[in-house]
């Protein structure tokens, strides 16, 4: 497989042009393209350019409304609601963050609920934007059902990630971004595309048996991280991002892959908090002590450090992308 090096801007422009050519507005395309490029920069290729053909397929079949205009409402002080209009989640999040950040600075805390939405890509991409504004960012996003409850075999909740971005002097000091499943579903989808096996603890087939076949895994259930505890985390996210935000439950959402069903209408929920207000000015020192306790151990690392290393390498050497994938996305531009 041949590879080529691209800059962050080149990846973003390529994705933007492909999305617009397939029916996305400039607003929808630019918001998503920024997330795609950031995923490549952070070494999370499963959410990068490889996903653009799927995004374009969903624009063409109507799973995503490419010309959707997010509708922002601020019903109460500290509360923001955004109807994504079945457009990409990135555009709705971008629209909601402007009032969210302003409210959090004024009130000390603010919440944003988004419904009629879609896959929001790497959740930490969004929470880190809050940390860059000096706010503690906490995010939740639900997904089509793919995890069965402990003792069951029928999926009830999605992989349902949550993310915490802790602010510091230079953006996020550390970032937690993890799903309720052992791995993100996109990792299994990537291996299915490449004809590769998966570890037998990642998922179960439709009969509830562990499987190393990614195609059988996609017909069955993702394995929850930590067993029943992982399912509990997924339920927490489902309550926040679906029930609380007024979005579709995972059991009622159409898949993020393929063309079956209409818009998934899933949701996101974000909390933004002023850490200095709640901590009485102690926050920065406490976080520093916490980080030192982790980093003083030779083999230990803070969550998000791997992404940061990828980010630094990409900035210095460029983003390495398979040439075949670049050609595929370029073809979508028409």
Give catalytic residues, as residue numbers: 46-47, 187
DSSP string, 133-178: TT-EEEEEE--S--BPPTT--S--B----EEEEEEETTEEEEEEEE
Write phi, then psi, for 280 (nearest 5 degrees).
65, 30
- Whose CA is closest to 116, among 140, 97, 147, 92? 92
* Alpha-carbon distances, residue 205 vs 18, 151, 159, 161 (angstroms): 35, 15, 16, 22
β-strand pairing of 109-117 with 79-83:
parallel
- Whose CA is closest to 194, among 208, 178, 213? 213
> Structure tokens of 315?
């900035």
Q: What is the DSSP letter of 41?
A: H
Q: Distance between CA atoms of 303 and 324, rounded to whole angstroms?
A: 32
Q: Distance between CA atoms of 323 and 313, rounded to whole angstroms?
A: 19
Q: Distance between CA atoms of 66 and 328, rounded to whole angstroms?
A: 20
Write phi, then psi, for 70 (nearest 5 degrees).
-60, 135
Q: Distance between CA atoms of 179 and 277, rounded to whole angstroms?
A: 29
Contact between 182 and 156 under an 8 Å Cβ cutoff? The reply is no
């Amino acid at each position: 497989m041949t590879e080529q090096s691209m800059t962050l801007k080149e990846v973003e422009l390529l994705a933007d042009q492909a999305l617009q050519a397939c029916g996305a507005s400039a607003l929808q395309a630019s918001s998503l393209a920024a997330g795609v490029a950031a995923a490549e920069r952070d070494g999370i290729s499963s959410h990068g350019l490889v996903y653009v053909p799927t995004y374009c397929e969903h624009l063409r079949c109507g799973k995503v409304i490419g010309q959707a205009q997010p509708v922002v409402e601020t019903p109460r002080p500290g509360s923001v609601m955004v109807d994504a209009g079945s457009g990409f989640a990135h555009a709705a999040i971008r629209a909601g963050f402007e009032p969210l950040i302003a409210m959090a600075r004024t009130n000390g805390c603010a919440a944003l609920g988004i419904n009629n939405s879609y896959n929001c890509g790497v959740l930490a991409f969004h929470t880190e934007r809050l940390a860059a504004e000096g706010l503690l960012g906490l995010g939740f996003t639900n997904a089509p059902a793919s995890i069965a409850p402990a003792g069951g075999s029928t999926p009830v909740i999605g992989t349902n990630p949550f993310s915490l971005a802790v602010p510091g002097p230079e953006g996020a000091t550390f970032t937690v971004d993890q799903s309720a499943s052992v791995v993100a579903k996109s990792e299994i989808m990537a291996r299915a595309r490449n004809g590769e096996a998966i570890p037998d603890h990642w998922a179960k087939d439709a009969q509830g048996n562990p499987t190393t076949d990614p195609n059988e895994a996609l017909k069955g259930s993702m394995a929850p991280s930590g067993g029943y505890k992982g399912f509990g985390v997924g339920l927490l996210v489902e309550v926040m991002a679906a029930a609380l935000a007024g979005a579709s439950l995972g059991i009622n959402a159409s898949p993020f892959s393929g063309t079956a069903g209409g818009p998934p209408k899933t949701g996101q929920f974000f909390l933004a908090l002023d850490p200095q207000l709640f901590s009485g000015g102690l926050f920065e020192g406490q976080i520093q002590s916490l980080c030192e306790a982790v980093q003083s151990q030779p083999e230990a690392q803070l969550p998000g450090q791997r992404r940061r290393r990828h980010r630094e390498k990409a900035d210095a050497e460029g983003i390495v992308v398979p040439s075949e994938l670049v050609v595929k996305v370029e073809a979508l531009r028409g």
